Structure 1
Amino acid sequence: MRVIGLTGGIASGKSTVSNLFKISGVPVIDADLVARQVVEKGTDGLTALVNRFGEAILNTDGTLNRTELGRKMFSDDGGRKEVNDILQPLIRQEITGKMTDYQEQGKPLIVLDIPLLFEMNYESLCDDIIVVAVSVETQIARMEKRNGYTRQEALERIQSQMPLEEKVKRATIVWSNEGTLQDLEQKVHQWLLENFLKK
C-alpha cells in the first residue's frame, strides 16, 4: 500500500485535491474529520478536555462547545499546547488504525489529508508528500473573496501557519494551483493515470 500525504496552505486548494481523490475512488483519511471524532460525546478525548478545562466547555447536551474551548485555549498561556498534547496522540492513533484497516482491505493507495502534516511529524507515515501551492497574493485574494477577510486578516491567518515555501521544499510532489479547477483536475487525473491506473 502506498501512502500519500497531502497538505498545503490556507486557501491553496488542498481540500479540492482531497475531494478529487475521493471522487476517483481513492480512500482519503481526513485529519480534520478525525479531530472532530476524537472529541465526540462519550470519548476519552472529550473527558480529558473536561478534566483539564472544566464543564464550561460543554453544551447543555454534553457535546463539546468549540467556541468556549477556543476561548479557554487562547486565554490561558499554554492552553493551546495542552489541547494538542491531549488530542494529537488520539488523532494519530485513529489515523494509524484507519491506515491498518485499508491495508487489510488490500487498498493499493491511500491519501492522508493533514493540514499540519509537517508540524505534527506525519512524514514518517508517508511514501510521498503532495503539497498544493499558490502564491501569498493568491491566498489573500481567495480569502478576501471566499471568507470576506480584509487583507490584514488574511495575512494574519497565513502567517500563523508554517510558510508554504517551507512545505514546498519538504514535498516530494508539488502541484501549483494558480490556474483553473480544470487544470487541477487534470493534474490529479494525470498523476493517477501514470501511477495507479496502468494496465
Structure 2
Amino acid sequence: MRRGYIKFVANFKKLLTAFSFFRLRSADLEYFQYKYPSIFAVFLVVSYWVLSRTIFEIDLDAAIANATTLMGVLIGFYIAALAAVTSFPNESLNSVMAGNAPRIKERGGAEFSPITRRRFLSILLGYCAFLSIVVYILGSASASVKFAARTNEFLEVILKAIWWSGYTWLLASLLTVTMLCLHYLIDRMHRP
C-alpha cells in the first residue's frame, strides 16, 4: 500500500513540471514570478471596479470569450516554440547563462545549480503553455457555469471577486512571462 502511494505521488509530481518556473532563483526573477503579475492584476481589477459603469460599460463575458479564443491559438504557439527551442542546433543555448545565471533546485537535491539558456527558455515556454491551457479551460468553464437562482447575493459577489482576481492574475502572469520569454528569444539568446 505504501509503495503504491509513493509511486502515485512520484508520478503526480510529473504533472506539475510546468511549475518549475517557480523553483527558479535569480536576482530579478521574483519580479516576473510574483511582483509584476500581482501589480498588473491589481491594476486591472481596480480599474474595472473604478471605471465600470462610471465611464465604460465592460462586458466581462465577452472579455473571457475573447481571451479563451486567444488561448486556443497560444497553446499551439507555445508548444511549437518549446519544440523549436529544445531542438534548435545552437551550441550557445547549451551553455550556462552569463552573469548571475538563474539557478534551480532539482527535486530531491540540496543545492541550487545554474541552468543553461536552453533549459531556462524551455521552463519559461513550458509554464506559458501550461498556463494558457489552464486559462483556456477556466474561460470555457466560465461560459458554461452560472450561479443558481437561490444563491446568496453576498456569497455570489465574494465568489465573483475571488474568481476575477484569480483569473486576472493568471492572465497577468501569462503576459509577464511571455514578455520575458520574448526578451530572451529576441535579445539574449544570440549573445555569447
Q: TM-score, normalised by structure 2?
A: 0.27
Q: TM-score, normalised by structure 1?
A: 0.26
Greater helix fraction, Structure 1 or Structure 2: 2
Greater strand fraction, Structure 1 or Structure 2: 1
Larger Rg: 2
